[in-house]
Chain A
Amino acid sequence: MSEQVPLVDYLVLGDDPHLVAQECARCGARFFDRRNACAGCGGPEFSGVRVATEGEVRAFTIVSLAAPRIPVPFVASVVDCDGTSVRANVVNVEPSPEHVRLGMKVRLVTVPVGTDGGGTEAIGFGFEPVDTSNGAREEG
Chain B
Amino acid sequence: MATDDVWILGIHMTKFGKHPEQDTVDLAAEAAMAALADGGVSMRDMGVLAAGNLMGGPGAIGQQLQKQVGQTGIPVYNVANACATGATALRTAVMALKAGECDLGMAVGVEKLAGAGLLAGANRRADNDERWTPRGRFGAVAPTDGRIGTETMPGVFAQIGMEYGHRYGGTSFELFARISEKNHAHSTLNPLAAYSKRFTLEEIMGDVMIAYPNTRPMCSANCDGAAAAVVVTGRKLRTLDPDQRRRAVKISASVLTTDPWEEACQVLPNVNTLTRNAAHQAYEAAGVVPEDLDLVELHDCFATAELVHYDNLMLCAQGEAVPFFESGATWRDGTTPVNVSGGLQSKGHPIAATGIANIWEICHHLRGEAGDRQIPDAKVGLAHVIGLGSACGVHILEKAA
Contacts and interface: CB of A to CB of B under 8 A. Distances in A.
Contacts, number: 167
B159 A34 contact: no
Contacts of B143: 67
Interface stretch (B209-217, B277-285, B379-387): B209-217
B138 A9 contact: yes
B210 A65 contact: yes
In this complex, the member of A61, A64, A84, A114 whose beta carbon has the largest number of chain B beta carbons within 10 angstroms is: A61
In this complex, the member of A80, A97, A102 whose beta carbon has the largest number of chain B beta carbons within 10 angstroms is: A102
Contacts of B144: 7-8
A7 B129 CA distance: 13
A120 B131 CA distance: 8
B162 interface: yes
B211 to A, nearest CB: 5
Contact of A31 (B154, B159, B262, B266): B266
B130 interface: yes
**Chain B, interface SS category:** loop
B120 interface: yes
B171 A122 contact: no
B1 interface: no
B272 to A, nearest CB: 12
A137 to B, nearest CB: 12
Given A33-B137, A78-B159, A122-B142, A65 B132 contact: no
A8 B261 contact: no
B116 interface: no
B146 interface: yes
A85 B267 contact: yes
A60 B130 CA distance: 33
Contacts of A111: 147
A139 B131 contact: no
A6 to B, nearest CB: 8
A121 B197 CA distance: 50
A41 B147 CA distance: 31
B266 A120 contact: no
Q: State which size class the interface on B falls in.
A: 35 or more
B148 interface: yes
Nearest to B144: A8
B166 A7 contact: no
Interface in B192-238: 208-214
Interface in A64-111: 64-67, 69-70, 73-74, 76-78, 80, 83-89, 97, 102-103, 111
B118 interface: yes
A64 B165 CA distance: 21
A38 B265 CA distance: 13
Nearest to A77: B149
Contacts of B131: 116-118, 120
Contacts of B145: 66-67, 70
27 contacts: A5-B141, A7-B144, A10-B138, A39-B261, A61-B162, A61-B213, A61-B214, A63-B150, A64-B210, A65-B154, A65-B211, A67-B145, A70-B146, A76-B146, A78-B163, A78-B267, A87-B149, A87-B267, A89-B147, A102-B165, A117-B130, A118-B130, A120-B132, A122-B132, A122-B141, A139-B169, A140-B165
Interface of A: 5-10, 29-34, 38-40, 58-67, 69-70, 73-74, 76-78, 80, 83-89, 97, 102-103, 111, 113-114, 116-118, 120, 122, 124-125, 139-140
Given A63-B154, A70-B146, A76-B159, 5 more contacts: A7-B142, A59-B166, A67-B145, A103-B166, A140-B166
